[in-house]
Amino acid sequence: MKRLGDKCNCKDKISSPITKYTELEPALCQELRKIVDAIVVPGKGLLACDESPSTFQERFDEIGVENTEINRRDYRQMLFTADKSQFSKYISAVILHHETVYQKTSDDVELIELLRQRDVVPGIKVDKGLVPLFSSKDENTTEGLDNLQERCIQYKRDGCHFTKWRCTFTISETTPSQLAMVTNANVLARYASICQSARMVPIIEPEILNCTHGINRALEVHEEVLSILFRILQEHRIYLEGMILKVAMVLSGIKNSSNCSPQIIAEHTLAALQRTVPPAVPAVIFLSGGQSDEDAVLNLNAINAYEGRKPWPLTFCYGRALQNAALKTWKGNPDKVQDAQAAFLERAKLCSQASLGELEPENGVCTRNSR
């Protein structure tokens, strides 16, 4: 055993103080960038269609539709068979649930093939849901890492090219805790590393939930969570050019929202991103959680119209904000499919215009200087 002061043999000498690590193969990096380029297209965004069967229970109960696999298939088929030219004009990629990857249309066409025919990139939600974080006060982490490598390899073979994983953070006087932020950042980094090794682009989603805080407290938490996340992503040697960040906008809590205009939300959201997200990240996509359908569009438009440094494309990855109108129109009635598709495409068009900062008042969304 060597002791302090013993001489080292030449073979024990370290040629550089920098720790060596295995870099991704150039061909793998190129493939990841190619997938990103297909997803990140000006004027297009993502449709989040990865609701679990249990999540559908509540949504179908609201419209009086039985929550069966066939009805879930019919609903998603209704969305995916909307006018091809318009669908592919506004939507570049769709996040799917495991069930949907292996479903077929009523005409026996795989739903994933239906998306490919529309030049839309299929992706898959791979986390297995929230679980309590031990030693924390009512905070969560996300499970699903155990067999993720095998699942990603299989999903890639079956036609999916990107993945999504969500961790959540709550805002209070004592949360998110350092434990929750560091633990979830490591979970997200490990997830991203596994997915990139399987030739899939990871969408990394550290969702900060909308609670009762003010917007300045929200900004503080966003900055802290994202700073820790990107430090740990670098420690895990994540290829930043081959990932996508999915975040919530910086919003004031529900009780404090009346004084926050879209312009204020845009200013705070961009401040958080500019201070924490490296320019190497090829895109930032926003979720619509905690917002009405209208606000999700107005706030996205304000972010893209806001003057300031924005080194990343800023677009949408919406679930309910794209689907609510279509779901309420459809109600499981085959005779309402075309009307529901028209409602879905109208929402997609508005989100597309907002992603360019080009939303006009006459587009059917009222504009407001304040709330």
Residues classed as catalytic: 205, 246
Which long-range CB contacts under 8 A does 170-176 form with residues at least 24 apart? 170/138, 170/139, 170/209, 170/211, 171/208, 171/209, 171/211, 171/213, 171/217, 171/218, 171/221, 171/253, 172/211, 172/213, 174/137, 175/136, 175/137, 175/138, 175/139, 176/139, 176/208, 176/221, 176/224, 176/225
Cα–Cα distance, 289 to 310 (Å, whole number): 22
Cα–Cα distance, 52 to 50 (Å, whole number): 6
Question: Does residue 194 contact residue 152 with C-beta atoms inside 8 Å?
Answer: yes
Alpha carbon of 19 to those of 14, 103, 234, 235, 237: distances in Å?
Answer: 9, 46, 13, 11, 12
User: What kind and span of H or E run contains 251?
Assistant: none
Amino acid at 245: L
Nearest to 125 by CA among 152, 158, 92, 149: 152
